[in-house]
Structure formats: C-alpha cells, structure tokens
Structure 1
Amino acid sequence: MDPAADIPGDLAIAGYRIHDQIGSGGMSAVYRGTQTSLDRTVAIKFLSHEFLGDSGIRERFERESVIIARLNHPGIVRVIDRGVTRDGRPYFVMEHVEGADLASLIDRGTLETSQKLDIVVQVCKALAYAHHNGVIHGDIKPANVILDRDGHARILDFGIARVARGDHPGAPASELVVGTPSYMSPEQVSGTRPMTARSDLYSLGVLIYELFTGRKPPTGRFTPPSQIDRRIPAALDRIVERCLQVEPAHRFSSADEVKDRILSVMPGAHLETVQRERTRQDLGAVDGKFTLL
C-alpha cells in the first residue's frame, strides 16, 4: 500500500511531495517529503491539527523555525523553508538527517569512552554557537541530539528555545515551566527565575552523566560517574558536578568552557578519525531511521 495514500489532504504544499509520517511530538508531526525543485529528501514538520486554535502554541511553533533559521552551524539541523498550507496549518521544512538519536545509542551501550567525549565536544560547540547568537535551547537531552551516518552530532528541536543575550533572561520566569523535567535546571522547574544560557549547561550536565553511566543523576547528591564505571576518567566527575550546580552562577560560564574541560580529559578526542569511524559503524547497526521532531 502506498504510504502517501494515508496523508491528510490539508498537508499539501506547493513544491513538495509528502510521503510518509516519520515521527510525532507533543504538538507536531513530521513527514518525509521531497523538495521537487531540487529532487532532495526533506523532513517537514506540521503543527498538529488539534492545536491550530491555540494561539500560544501556534506562536511557539512558528517561532521555532525563525530561531533555527538564524543559526548556521554544522552541529544544528537546518531549516530550509516555512509557510502555511492552504488549510491554515503552519509548517517548516528541514534537512532530512539519517542516523540515530543519542538516547537510542545510550540504550545500546556500545559507545566507547573516547566516542562519548567526542560527542560531548561536538554538542558543546553547537551549543556555544547558539548561545553566542543569543539562542537558549531549553530542552537539551539525548533525544534531541542526532548522530548522522558519519558520526557528526547535530542538535535539533528548538521548540521551546528563547532568544537572549549572554546571561540575560530569554523570557519571563512564568513562561519557562516547559521542557523535559528530568533534564531541566532547577530554575526551569521552579519557574521562579528566567532561563539563561547556564540553564542549558545544567541540562548538558545531565546528558553527560547519562551518556557515560546509562542513568540520569538523581536530584541533589549523586554518585560520581567514575564510581559507577571505573573506565570513566575521574576528571569527568568534576565537570559533571559543576554543570549540575543548583545555583546558575556556580556552573561553567559557557559551553566553550565545558568543551575545553572535556578536551583536557582526553586531548585530541575531537580530532581522532577512529572515533568517528567507530560511531559510524555503531549507527549502521541501529535499526530504523532517526525521526526529526
């Protein structure tokens, strides 16, 4: 049966052929499509039908594409186009990336320490670029990092991102109780203080802890990663601990600083081709394709 036969008629877009649904999120659905002018595969994200009448969610959805479009970095999934269907559904078009999300790779447990360090460095570089351009992601977690077939890490899903400068708040605190609770900084969870770039660094700390140990750190005191797995460098404990400080001012000052500390744990981790080749082989063994949400 042709998958396109199940595509709702209100998803028709001039210049694109819609093929099949490849994923869905809390307020959106993603379809694989073809941009006919260039005959290339793309991922098209539509606002879910039930939220068309919600002005707040619609505004957030439309803001996501605008925020991503201002970022041009190899570690961030690019937006190609945006618009509204004839029936009033907003959408935006992204490059189609094949690979696996970091959450699935953590579940498989096949990544080596050097590969993990390389991935963290790549995420730090992309996050630093976003912060330098005034964008706070707000939902950094393994499921929002995809590794393409060549082992390059890409950040996606800027659905709750905020625009700010440096450590200036990206939005009033009352708007920030959105995200994934187990990865959210204390200020995001409480909603009592605005989110800043250092809020992303807390989430990054949770990601690093989970990437190396296979588990999320409990709130408050937690077992250092090197005590869970003796193969983990003890220096990583101090990096994670600082990222996970409750007080934002006590965390690292920037994603670049986290990157530099990671490189000091294993100098050259980001430069060795063998790590990328091993990651590429791991990705080749993952069933299915990653879905852009």
Structure 2
Amino acid sequence: MTLHQPNDIIAQRYRIVTALGEGGMGTTYEAEDLTNYQRVAVKAVSLRQAKDWKILELFEREAKVLANLNHPGIPKYLDYFHLDTEEDRQFYLIRELVSGDSLAAWVEKGWHPTEAEIKQIAIKILEILSYLHQLNPPIIHRDIKPQNIIRKADGEIFLVDFGAVQDIYRNTISFSGTFVGTVGYMPPGTVAGKGLLCF
C-alpha cells in the first residue's frame, strides 16, 4: 500500500509525480522540489505500515550513510525528515534522482548487454565498492543485486539502496534471525552466519 498519490505535496515542498518502486523498506517516488523545480527521489516509510522496528532503524541508517557519501556513482543525499499525523509518523529520505532503470528492469524490457557492457558495469560497481571500503570506517553495502544498480540510457551506472549497509566495526549478525540483504545475492558466509567480510 503506497503512502502517496501523484500531486500529493509532502512538507509543503515535494510534489509527488509517480511511484518508482516499492520494497521491504518503503516506497520510492519521483517528486518535484517546488523550491527549485528539480526532480528528486523521495523514499518514504510509515511507522504504522512498518512490519517491525528494524525497518525504521535501517531507513535511518541509510539516511545517515548517504549524508556522508560523495561519489559520482552514488545519488546525492539531499534531506531526511519525518512528519507526524494523528495516526502515524512518516519518514522521508530525499536524494538526487537518477534518470534510468535498474538492470533488472532493463533485462525485463529485452536488453541484451554485450560482454564489453557487462565488464564496464562490473568495473563501475567495483569502483564504487572500492570507494565505500576505503572510508573510515569502511562501508559494506550488503544488498548488491540487479534491482539496486541503475543504468542510464548513456550507460552511466549508479548504486542505490543503502538501507542494508553496515560498517565493519559493527560486524556481527544478529543470531536471532535478523538478516539484511537479499537471499540469492548474499555471500554464502553471511547467510551461514559466519561474518560479513566475505566479498
């Protein structure tokens, strides 16, 4: 269930244009910033709709991590805030809008990349990961999959969805069964609970 419809205005500033996607951590919308008429991405999560507190913790972590990143392959953080209503509290993360589709969406539309294109995508993702791993403390994305890699029409590549990130100083997985990431794209050592440093 989406929180917003087209033309809804959030915080008297962001006008919703369309929903871009929905996942376990809320819905992402394309919106227009009414102060400068730029298009932005608005990720929204509702306290009422959240299945557990972990979602809100991951959402806040994503905002904090994005606010400190500066890489051309990572959409820029713009804002983070919450709004209260009588029945709910809604959290919003505003970031630069990347005009492209996920690799998953490209494939669904019939895109058949060449070997050279696949190598270029891999190199770009490895450059982004190298940047993240050289930070202090290093950042581990933990949810790299076709849905989180955006490709623009000109071939430019971006890595999105930093809700599952973890720095290596918090390198324990909760053995209560809380896993962050997508099964099928997680390193086998992570799924087995043997640590996070399996790249």
Instruction: State the TM bucket, normalised to the shorter chain.
Output: 0.7 to 0.9
Which structure's CA Rg is the greater one? 1
Post-superposition offset of 1:41: 0.5
Structure number with higher strand proportion: 2
2:121 aligned to which of 106, 119, 122: 119
Q: Relative contact order (alpha carbons < 8 A, sep ≥ 6): 1 or 2 greater?
A: 1
Post-superposition offset of 1:142: 1.3
TM norm structure 2: 0.84
2:159 aligned to which of 147, 155, 158: 155
* Shift >4 Å, 4+ stretches: none
CA distance in 2, matches of 1:12, 1:115: 39
Corresponding residue of 1:130: 132
**Matched positions, count:** 187
Contact 1:176/1:194 (8 A) holds in 2: no
Task: Rate the CA distance shift 1:177–1:56 in 2: closer, same or farther, 3 A.
Answer: closer
Corresponding residue of 2:18: 20
Contact 2:44/2:90 (8 A) holds in 1: yes
TM norm structure 1: 0.59
1:139 aligned to which of 138, 143, 151: 143
Corresponding residue of 1:208: none
Contact 1:17/1:35 (8 A) holds in 2: yes
Task: Rate the CA distance shift 1:34–1:105 in 2: closer, same or farther, 3 A.
Answer: closer
CA distance in 2, matches of 1:35, 1:170: 37
Contact 1:20/1:31 (8 A) holds in 2: yes
Corresponding residue of 1:96: 97
Structure number with higher helix proportion: 1
Gaps spanning 5+ residues in structure 2: where? none
Corresponding residue of 1:194: 195
Question: Percent identity between the aligned chains?
Answer: 31
Moved more, 85-94 or 154-163: 85-94
Contact 1:160/1:179 (8 A) holds in 2: yes
> What is the correspondence of 1:1-293 to structure 2 with a 5 Å cutoff?
4=6, 7=8, 12-48=10-46, 49-51=48-50, 54-87=52-85, 88-107=89-108, 108-133=110-135, 134-164=138-168, 170-174=171-175, 177-191=179-193, 193-196=194-197, 199=198, 201=199
